Amino acid sequence: MKKILEQIRGNKWLQLGLLVGYIALTSLSLILAQRSVAAFLLLLLSFLLLYYTKLPNWSKWAIGLAIMFFILPFSAMQGPAYQEYMDVATLVGIYVSMALGLNIVVGMAGLLDLGFVAFFAVGAYTYGIFATAQASNFMPFGTYPLSGNSFWIFIILGCFVAALFGVLLGIPVLRVKGDYLAIVTLGFGEIIRIVFNNLDQPVNITNGALGLSSIAPPKIFGIELLYSNQIYFVVLFILLFVIFAVRSLEHSKLGRSWKAVRENEIAAQAMGIPLVKTKLMAFAIGASFSGMMGVVFAAKQAFIDPTSFTMLQSINILVMVLLGGMGSVPGVILGAAVVTILNAQVLNELTMWFNSLSTAGIITLPDAMSPVKMQRFFFGALLILFALYRSKGLIPAKNVVYDKQKFLSEKGTKKRLQSVAAPKEDEHGHTGS
């Protein structure tokens, strides 16, 4: 057994063959089994396997993209639960982007933000207000609702509005540190929710607790994107953009400043890192990802109200980041996917399973303990266990390792500078979804 594992570890082609076999097997079983959550989850697991293979980066990306764009939609299409699967996949995409946004703030810059969902809400309401008749209550010009064609502009708009709110939150809390910051952001999140809940008077802007309904679906080339399988591709494109942005930021000057600020503020400042700018950028960029996905969320659900943006949601996203590994991009993607699937599918399935068991009379579970209601319990337990025993998460963040030998052997200053500018990474692709 050990020998086989060794061989697999060493041989790229064997890995590729096994992976292709695995993907073929799971997608086939998804096609044949019609309504099997297990097959769907196993197919998603192939992203994680892909991450751990030793293939070159570009081929990992190619395989990952092929799964996301073709294999997953195609094999889910065959069964009656098609929209259900695509809905889950869309949610995963939305939450992965949000978690990546929070990862910048918490994981990279070390600023604990407990009100992160506020930016999601801002994005959702930005689109929601203008894509329903709501805007005509206070806008002096224009006719509302805007058509679904405006959705594409609103993605960018939501991004900027959320970034603006991020800076607005950032400026006053810059003087506050560590755990105080957590409390202030928590308060900020609650303030945003309460304000949205009460902004139906004196001018009705958000329609208060009733929420905004029948939000216009996005439209492209005259086609309305109504169903999850269509929104899925929109989410996919944004997600790829977010991943690309995060990857480039991580190793940029800004990304390194974030990490420096996280490790020691005073030392970072002494090294000439502008604290204010660095922190504000973290808030703004983190918030903007969340805002974009808020717009998509509003368009997908076609209904939003303040109850979608509670504290629990903020903690939810924090769990994703912590579970995956603070500061680690592949880890956070994995964490977000796991938590979202747990929330959207596994808990429901478990509840149904328990219900069927209790109707069959095998065991009786009181209604109060049905897994769907125990969400807080599971999250709380996950937070504690991970903080105590694996505080670095499922896939811990790795720092760039410089090749010392290469660094020392090259005498020329020019070459040395080059090797600093283009560091060798010790981590590869990150399509672990």
Partner 1 sequence: MTQVWDTLPQVLIDGLTLGAIYAIIALGYTMVYGILELINFAHGEIFMAGAFIGTAVLIGLTGLGWVAVMPAIFVLLIVLVITGGLTGMLGMGIERLAYRPLRKASKLITLITAIGVSFLLQDIVRFITETQQNNYIVNTPSLFPGSLSVSGLNIRYSFLVVIIVAILMMIALEFFVNRTKWGLAMRAVAQDQDTASLMSVNVNKVISVTFFVGSALGGATGVLFAIHYGTIDPYIGFILGLKAFTAAVLGGIGNIRGAMAGGMLLGLLEMFAAANLSAITAGLLSSEYKDVFAFAILILVLIFRPEGLFGRAAIEKV
Q: How far apart are CA 418 and CA 407, in angstroms?
A: 10
**Residue 198 within binding range of partner 1, rule CB under 8 A:** yes
The residue (of 62 and 171) whose beta carbon lies closer to partner 1 is 171
Least distance to partner 1, CB of residue 343, Å: 14
**Residue 275 within binding range of partner 1, rule CB under 8 A:** no
- 381, 400, 401, 420: which one contacts partner 1 (CB under 8 A)? 381
**Residue 382 within binding range of partner 1, rule CB under 8 A:** yes
- Which ranges of 271-370 would DSSP assign to H, the alpha helix? 275-301, 311-324, 329-341, 347-360
Identify the three-state secondary structure at position 82: helix
**Residue 272 within binding range of partner 1, rule CB under 8 A:** no
- The residues in 322-341 that bind partner 1, with binding defined as CB under 8 A, are 322, 326
Least distance to partner 1, CB of residue 373, Å: 7
**Residue 167 within binding range of partner 1, rule CB under 8 A:** no
Query: What values do phi and psi take at 212, rounded to 5?
Result: -105, 125
Least distance to partner 1, CB of residue 335, Å: 13
**Residue 254 within binding range of partner 1, rule CB under 8 A:** no
The residue (of 194 and 352) whose beta carbon lies closer to partner 1 is 194
Q: How far apart are CA 256 and CA 273, in angstroms?
A: 10
> How is the chain split among helix, strand and coil, in percent rounded to 5?
75, 0, 25
| 408 contacts 420 by C-beta, under 8 angstroms | no
- 80, 201, 222, 362: which one contacts partner 1 (CB under 8 A)? 201
* Number of CB atoms found within 10 A of residue 271's CB: 10
Specify the stretch interacting with partner 1 by CB under 8 A; choose among 1-9, 71-79, 345-353, 379-387: 379-387
Least distance to partner 1, CB of residue 249, Å: 21
**Residue 188 within binding range of partner 1, rule CB under 8 A:** yes
**Residue 376 within binding range of partner 1, rule CB under 8 A:** yes
| 104 contacts 249 by C-beta, under 8 angstroms | yes
Q: How far apart are CA 405 and CA 21, in angstroms?
A: 40
Q: What separation in angstroms does the CA of 185 have from each of 22, 162, 171, 174, 188?
A: 44, 15, 12, 11, 5
With CB under 8 A as the rule, give the number of residues binding partner 1.
Answer: 49
Would you call 423 exposed, middle or buried from its count of C-beta atoms within 10 A (0-12, 13-18, 19+)?
middle
**Residue 186 within binding range of partner 1, rule CB under 8 A:** yes
What single-letter amino acid sits at 49?
Answer: L
Stretch 389-408: interaction string toward partner 1, x if CB under 8 A: --x-----------------
Specify the stretch interacting with partner 1 by CB under 8 A; choose among 134-142, 173-181, 223-231, 402-410: 173-181
* CA proximity to 229, closest of 93, 340, 427, 348: 93
| 284 contacts 170 by C-beta, under 8 angstroms | yes
Least distance to partner 1, CB of residue 172, Å: 5
**Residue 366 within binding range of partner 1, rule CB under 8 A:** yes
* CA proximity to 398, closest of 319, 321, 327, 332: 327
- Contacts with partner 1 by CB under 8 A lie at 106, 110, 112, 114, 172-173, 175-176, 178-180, 182-184, 186-188, 190-191, 194-195, 197-198, 201-202, 266, 311, 315, 318, 322, 326, 366-369, 373-377, 379-384, 387-388, 391
